[in-house]
A and B are shown apart, each in its own frame.
Chain A
Amino acid sequence: MVARKSDPKSASLDRELDGLPPDLRWREWMSRVEAVIFANPGPIARVDLQRVVAQTTNLDLLISDIQADLVGRPYEIVSVAGGWMFRSRPQYGDAIRAAADIDDQAHDFTSEEMAVLCAVAYHQPLDRAGLADIFGKEVNRDLLNRLRSKKLIGNGPKSPRAGAPHTFVTTPGFLATFDLDSLRDLPDMQLFRDPPEV
């Protein structure tokens, strides 16, 4: 993806760009950062981006300017797992799947599965009895096993009650699947008006 030039040494990169007037310099920094994010296959960290602009450049302002330029394009720059990456906008998902025939079986969830995932994510650690309290009925073991085999939930600490049933907790795979940096990126629970149904 990178058109490699003959001299790729980053040490020789002019980060300050003192020769340019301020607006052109800002433009050049934006282009560099955009190119680096584009060329990187996964999320790229702040420190890596900071290496191609001046030490004092405010990366957040720079990236929000790039994002403003991308309004109306079918792709965007998103913050994922502590870095930034390009991503096609969600509404083009169907088109991309139709063209590329991407096998996304692993990421298809029924509404029941989603509801159980949400319950675990927000209330973890949560055992089957806890899930039953939330949904008003027993949650199917097969469904829980499916989520476990997709490595979205795992066996957590034991619940301190008779029989010591294990609880369920979310995994790093859960965060990656839903593009979350950490659990703090879960939407605020106040946003849900109606309790989920199973």
Chain B
Amino acid sequence: MKKTTNRSSTKPTGPTLPAWLFERTPPDTLEAAAFASGSALSFLYVVLMDPNIDVPGDLLRSRLALRAAVHSNKIEGRQTTEAELRDAYHLTAPGDTLGPNGDMLAFWRKGADIRLKASDWQDRLGALLGKSMRDDVSVWLNAPSKTESPVERAGALLGQLLIDYPRQEANALLCADVVLARSLGWPKPVPLLGHTLKKADIRLISDGADRRLTLHHAIARAAQETIRLSYDLGRRAALLREVAPKLRSKGADDAVRLFLTEDAVIISPMLTPIIRGSKTAMTPRSALRMCDRLVALGVAKELTGRPSFRLYGLG
């Protein structure tokens, strides 16, 4: 009988990723490209759903929504940074105007937060689109679906919307990501095409060119990046959960939960006077002390480098 290796003595060295899945050069045949996107998506499914990996899904979607918003701005000809978008979103007081940057981030955040298993998911998607696009998308979604792959289905809607609404790329990309996520049985949309499909790709698709290879490449690339990001966030989340009991602040649990769902946490109004999503009160002083402690423990980062109006995130 073979001697079994003692697993507990080996230090975990990160996830086992098949090297062939992360090939650098995009395949140039349709079959190989479809294989790459299909295998990356099914790997991603496991990463997202396996409770043993325990990826903080809301945080992941919050991060990807931010990337997608920066990317959408770029498609619209506005060069912006993640930092600028975070500021626009988090520093706007209730009742004030988010402005174009905050609007774009809010759009992707709402889009990535639609519960696809809930009965009102189409209404929530429709509320983010203009009226005429809303009607068209609704007709499309309710038409009997053909026996096509999830990528083809997302691509078909994307192609139609880019042609019919040539200057509403963000809407079209979100719709495609929603259809992809629905077809794959994910609980909420994960912005994949939204942060990868390049302006040149979009132009090709709007011109009616064969979009299949482009889409498979974009989805494979996005899924691969998201697999890596998911493992990274899963690891960091585990570290945060590990140190959480050491935090003595009242409401630390609620605050930790916020760090595991939000890309960026601002002290006021997210932690003080009431920790968002809870009924726990926290003073500004105690909130600041806790954030500094998380940074000192190496489980959170200050994202802005500013002395005030600071934003903190898992890292």
Contacts and interface: CB of A to CB of B under 8 A. Distances in A.
Contacts of B93: 155, 158, 166
Contacts of B304: 160
A61 interface: no
B167 A181 contact: yes
B78 A46 contact: no
B87 A124 contact: no
A130 interface: no
Interface residues of A, number: 26
B309 interface: yes
A47 B164 contact: yes
A157 B77 contact: no
B93 to A, nearest CB: 7
B196 interface: no
B96 A182 contact: no
Given A124-B99, A166-B93, A160 B306 contact: yes
A171 interface: yes
Given A48-B132, A166-B93, A184-B78, A156 B99 contact: yes
Contact of B97 (A45, A154, A159, A183): A154
Contacts of A48: 132
A2 interface: no
A157 B98 contact: yes
B88 A156 contact: yes
B100 A183 contact: yes
B217 to A, nearest CB: 26
Given A125-B88, A157-B88, A82 B130 contact: yes
Nearest to B88: A157
Interface in B89-113: 89-93, 96-102
A156 B92 contact: yes
A169 interface: yes
B76 A160 contact: no
B273 to A, nearest CB: 17
B100 A160 contact: no
Contact of A182 (B76, B90, B98): B76
B250 to A, nearest CB: 27
Interface string A34-46: 0000000000011
Contacts of A171: 97
A20 interface: no
**What is the predominant secondary structure among interface residues of chain B facing chain A?**
loop
Which interface class (under 10, 10 to 19, 20 to 34, 35 or more) fits B? 20 to 34
A157 B96 contact: yes
B165 A124 contact: no
A164 interface: yes
A169 B97 CA distance: 7
A47 B89 CA distance: 33
B88 A82 contact: no
Contacts of B77: 184
A177 B306 CA distance: 37
Interface in A147-179: 154-160, 162, 164, 166-167, 169-171
Contacts of A154: 96-97, 99
A113 B92 CA distance: 24
Contacts of A162: 308
A102 B90 CA distance: 42
Contacts of A50: 164
B167 A182 contact: yes
B168 interface: yes
Of A125, A155, A182, chain B has the most CB atoms within 10 Å of the CB of: A125
B136 interface: yes
A162 B165 CA distance: 43
A46 B165 contact: yes
Interface in B52-97: 76-78, 87-93, 96-97
Contact of A82 (B87, B98, B168, B306): B168
Interface of B: 76-78, 87-93, 96-102, 130, 132, 136, 164-165, 167-168, 304, 306, 308-309
11 contacts: A45-B132, A154-B99, A155-B93, A156-B96, A157-B91, A158-B91, A159-B91, A169-B99, A170-B99, A183-B76, A184-B167
